[in-house]
Amino acid sequence: MPFPPEATLAEVGEFALIGELTGMFGQGEQVLVGPGDDAAVLRVRQGHVVVSTDLLVEGRHFRQGWVEARDVGHRAAAQNLSDINAMGGRAHSLTVGLAAPGTLAAQWALDFAAGFAAECDLVGASVVGGDLTGSDQVVIAVTVLGACTQAPVLRSGARPGDVLAITGRQGWSAGGLAVLSRGFRSPRVLVEAYRRPEPPYAAGPQAAEAGATSMIDVSDGLLADAGHLAADSGVAIDVYSASLEVPEPLHAVAAATGADPMSFVLGGGEDHSLLATFADGASLPDGWTAIGVVAEGEGVTVDGAAYDGETGWTHF
């Protein structure tokens, strides 16, 4: 252990912590200059560069009583890596900004970095820089860069007649959040899904190669994000609820909380599943399931009717 277990960020100091953090992140072959200089220098061999940025704010996006620092690291990396995935690309480099109180344990920052690095390793991405400063609460800012070897898949390409499809777990994280918000820790599988999402990282490039006409990462909610596809493409989308899997643990949580189990699937986010549209008659890649259809018009319906439940997370 590099620091005494009780040491705080203020006691360790900015540069000692940065030195320790820098050594935790391996560098890929695309990195010409990594952490330590004024900026990183990356090599781009071919294709399109895709970039995304996300924030996590303590009390808004996570609570330390609900998730360990390592889990926060996994979550912070996953939500950014998934954005590149949703463009049909593969992430290769990230920068991380951490603002935190000086009283926060230095070990928390190291554990966060370990979780972040472990998630990045799943796609072979490198942490190439970042920043550290003081704050009244923990705030994490991540920027991710990736590459698409084919044209990026946008939200705006869906056309009437297309099929709506999904891949990855959906509703599990929302079920875990419902459990934690009521002071419980089971079903454990849902709590773990909230703490550490499992985005289908290989599915984005596969969908792009299969001719997906539009695609989005489900970070806010299935219906909310389907609404983004519909709005940006100028179409209507109808979701078939019977095509959506509702796993047994969600039924258990729904029974205990008086909720509709389907509400976790339709309105839940942060599993970072992918929604995409494909031309009618196209073969869906392995792991994708058709759950709806694109038509002329606007908005999103469920089984042909307006949905009166929560469609997803709002940030304000």
For the entire predicted model, the pTM comes to 0.88
Question: d(Cα 246, Cα 265) in Å, to the nearest integer?
Answer: 7
- The CATH code that applies to domain 9-147 is 3.30.1330.10
Q: What is the pLDDT of residue 21?
A: 79
Are 100 and 2 a contacting pair, CB within 8 Å?
Answer: no
Q: Compute the mean pLDDT over every residue in the chain, rounded to the nearest whole number.
A: 92
Strand blocks (E) in 58-125: 90-100
DSSP state of 224: H
Among 264, 123, 271, CA closest to 197: 271
State yes or no: pLDDT of 1 exceeds 60: no
Domain with CATH 3.30.1330.10 in the chain: 9-147
In this prediction, residue 40 carries a pLDDT of 65
d(CA 188, CA 315): 27
In the chain, list all ranges with CATH 3.90.650.10. 163-302
Please give the CATH topology (third level) of the domain spanning 163-302. Phosphoribosyl-aminoimidazole Synthetase; Chain A, domain 2 (3.90.650)
Q: Is the pLDDT of residue 249 over 80?
A: yes
Backbone angles phi, psi at 308, to 5 degrees: -100, 10
What DSSP assignment string belongs to 146-211? EEESSPPPPTT---TTPEEEEES--SHHHHHHHHHHTT---SHHHHHHHHS----TTHHHHHHHTT
- What band does 71 get if pLDDT is binned at 50, 70 and 90? very high
Number of C-beta neighbours around residue 260 at 10 A: 14
